[in-house]
Structures are given as C-alpha cells and as structure tokens.
Structure 1
C-alpha cells in the first residue's frame, strides 16, 4: 500500500488543526461582536458590525478595579505557587530517588494515593485549617501548600532522576561532595527539562484555577483573572458576554506565549530521556 501523498497528509492535519482550534477562533470572533448577537444562530462567524469597545469595557474591570489588577494578582499567585511547587517537588523527588530511609516505599505509595484523591475530599478540612490560621482572604491557602510538593511533579521528577546513573553520585562523593552538593551540582542541572515541564504545568494550572480563589478570596481587589471573568456573568442583569470574551482572549495570550516558547521543554521533560551516550 502506497503512502498518501504529502499534500493529502497536510490537508488532513490542517483540517484537524482547524477543528481543534475552532473554539478559540469562535471566542476571538465573538469578542468583537455585540453581546446581544453572540448567541444568535443566524449570526455568522465574522462579526458584523465589528465592536472594539468590548476590550475597553472589559479592561475597566469590576468593583472599581481594572482588569490589570486581576492580572497582577494572578501573576503574583502564579509566581509564588510555581516556585514553591518546583523547588519542593525537586527536593522530595531527590529523596525518593536517591536516598534510603525507613518506610521509603510506604511513603511513596502514600504520596501517590494523594495524587488520586479528588480535591473535594480535602477541600473542607483544608478550609477549616486555614480559617483557624486566619489565612482567609489571602493567597496563603493557595501558595503555602505549594511549598510541600505536588504529587504529580514529584512522580515526574523521580522517574527522571532514576534515569541518571548513580555512578555520577559516587564520583561526586569521592570528590568530597555531600548529599546537598550532589543534589545541587549534579542532579539539578541534569533534570532541567523535567523542572521546566513542572514549571509550565504549574503555571497553566494556577493561571486557570478558579475553585481555590473562589474559596479563599473575598475582596474584589484580590481577585484573580478566573474570578474576574466569572464576575462578568450575572443572574440578575444582562451578562456582558462581549467584555468577558474580550478579556478571555487577553488572558489566553500568556498561555499561548508560554506554550510556544517552551513546548520543546515539555516534550523533553515528559519523555524522561535522562542521559544519552
């Protein structure tokens, strides 16, 4: 059986790409439409007329806070959460992959079990704990737990570290390196692809997180972009769909930029190729 010609292949791949990107294209086109015509069945994909005021209305924000405030709050939350998850997960993964201690397999199994627990199971106990600590209406309940590791990132990094030959650790020990130096000078530089993957996923998950901020943030000036977008919808008055879609496009820009800049690191990190030679 002959292979299909290259142009047939590209037509099929292009068709599937358009199909997958259609929701984003529809969102982009809808951000330039009047709110009352967005969900009209007879309305075409191309806006008629083009409404550029949706972006201005959306940027004005809600509750006296511009959308820039919500973006700043989200960037701060993403930064502290991402740094905490990546650093702590790397340290914990090094312990599981390289160190020997009592109950190592047991604790690793417990860690994996927490990965399979639905968030709804721990949501109420965590809320009670943070309420007693007086952390409500702040980013602490979201950012501080990140410094105790993330099960998925720990598992990813453990698998990556296990592909690194132990002979490097032994050689470093002979040269006088202690455990910390082995981790800092040998392991960390070699697991940079996996660290980049963890950082990118942490960015995505925190940027899109709605449930956490809704639970713990009460003041409008501390809202994240996900909460701000939700505030454009109203059960009592007419929802401003145009402004919401316009700001949705704005919030998607960092996601696309990060993906296109670091997609190579995502592939390298997930493949856990380790050392080649």
Structure 2
C-alpha cells in the first residue's frame, strides 16, 4: 500500500505526468521545445532583416555603378574591386586623410569627455555644496535640449574666435563637461562605490584630487569604457556638427567626405560611396567588438545603482 502511494510522488518529482494507462505524457515538454524553436526562428529572421542593408551595401560595393540599382538582390555576378581603388582616390585627398581627420576629432573628444565628465560626476556624487541638487537637475534637463537650438549661438562664438575650419569647435567643448548623459552615467556609478574608501583615504591625509585619481578612477573603469565607446561611435558618425564647422575640403572628416561622393547635379559615384562607407565602418566594428564586454558591464552596473 505504501509503495502504491509513493510511486506517483516520485513520478511527479521527476516532472512526468502519468496518464490513466500508466504511460508518461511529454506533451508539456514538447510544447516548451516548440516555443523555444519558434523563438529562435523569429530571432534569426529579424536578424537577417536587420543585416540585409549591410549585406546589400557589401554586394553593391563590388558591382559596377551602372548595375547597382538594376540588380537589387544579393546575388553577386561580378567582383568589381575597382570601386575601392576609385573611392580611395576620388576626392582631392586620399580617403585615409579624412579618416585621420576623424581620428583627431575622436581622440580629442574622448580625452575631453573622460576628464571633464568624470570630474563633474565626482563633484556631484561626493562633494557637498550649495545648489548641488538644482545644478544637477539643470544638467539633466540639458539632455532634452536639441543640439539645433544652440548651434547658431555656438557658431557665432566660434566664428568670432576664428575657430571655423579648425577642429577646435568639435573638441574644446568636450573639455567643458557638455555631455550630460556621460555625467549622469558616472554619477550613478560613483554613488555605488562605498564611501568608506574615501574616509579611509582622508585618514591617510588624501585630498579630493588624490581620492579622485587614486580611488575613484580605477574603480570606475567600466563607466569610463562605456563613455569611450559611445563617444567614439557618436563622434565618428557625427555629420551635422562637422558639416557646419568644416567647409574646406582638406579639413573634411569621414561623414563629410562621404557626402562629397553624392552630387545632386551630375552622376554620383555610388560604387565608390558604398566601398568607402564599408571602409569607414571598420573602426566602429572593431571598437564595438573589443569593447562590448566593458560596454555591457558599464551599462548594467550603472543602471543597477
């Protein structure tokens, strides 16, 4: 009698439902497997749809210009490498010159954001001063301010300083903690660092700068890496600001140089344009590929604070 009562419990413990005939029913397990299969199929289909424009651009960069829009599919019948050669030498300077210009702006912007935004974040997170909450709220409000609202007064100021057609308007503001998003990101991260570390450093005679440089900065590497990756991608792909301040061809960056391939009054070099677009995407892919781990860690740890 005891054996008959315990048998269903053992069977339920292993997750098998007994039918009246004594056979185990695996329909729930099969339905769960089907749901997982359908989920993966949907994800694969959506991923392929999102990759289609990139794949089409890769294929189009290897086709003659006159065949790009005649054959919109992905089947490649010709292998035209000349587009890369023509695109690299199509403008007044080689395309490597414009990539170097973009690299100068990107490196300057990264250094400026890391220094200024981290110091501003340390002040908001650790220092106590009058009006801190109000200033922090004003700083957050600037996130909702479109860049087009301030572009005209900024251009007037930089024009009077004779900074137009230089990289200074694109780099100098980064040293003034103008990126409120990164400040908020670092403030949230610093608030998660125990204050006992600061107090222990003060007992040893350390001031705010020593605490900031020796304790806070080494611990907020994920937030700094996230700032670096986002700054690189946003600055490298920025078109509007660089188009406003850089009007001489030798000062063009990558986005402005790519725009020069499209001519509204004559034939556009679409093959060369797609080829150089792929070349310009290589640094973005590389920085995201090698920095993805730090990016995810920085966003996850910051959002949890």
TM-score, scaled relative to structure 1: 0.94
* 1:141 equivalenced with 2:130 (yes/no): no
For this pair of structures, how many residues does the alignment match? 274
* 1:261 equivalenced with 2:290 (yes/no): yes
Secondary structure class of the residue paired with 1:272: helix
**Aligned partners of 1:164 and 1:275 also within 8 Å:** no
Superposition CA RMSD, Å: 1.7
Matches within 5 A, 1:190-269: 190-269=219-298
Cα distance in 2, alignment partners of residues 190 and 204 from structure 1: 24
Identify unmatched segments of 5+ residues in structure 1. none
Cα distance in 2, alignment partners of residues 61 and 200 from structure 1: 30
Q: Which residue of 1 aligns with 2:105?
A: 77
Give CA-to-partner distance per residue, 1:124-158, whole Å, 9 cap, x none.
00000000011010010010000011100000000
Matches within 5 A, 1:85-164: 85-149=113-177, 150-164=179-193
Alpha-carbon distance, 1:43 to partner = 4.1
Secondary structure class of the residue paired with 2:78: coil
- Structure 1 stretches (4+) deviating beyond 6 angstroms? none
Cα distance in 2, alignment partners of residues 110 and 17 from structure 1: 40
Identify unmatched segments of 5+ residues in structure 2. 1-27
* 1:27 equivalenced with 2:53 (yes/no): no
**Aligned partners of 1:55 and 1:247 also within 8 Å:** yes
Cα distance in 2, alignment partners of residues 195 and 25 from structure 1: 33
Alpha-carbon distance, 1:13 to partner = 2.8
Instruction: Name which one, 1 or 2, has greater alpha-carbon Rg.
Output: 2
* 1:166 equivalenced with 2:206 (yes/no): no
**Aligned partners of 2:120 and 2:183 also within 8 Å:** yes
TM-aligned CA distance change 1:68 to 1:273, over 3 Å: closer
Of 111-120 and 124-133, deviating more is 111-120
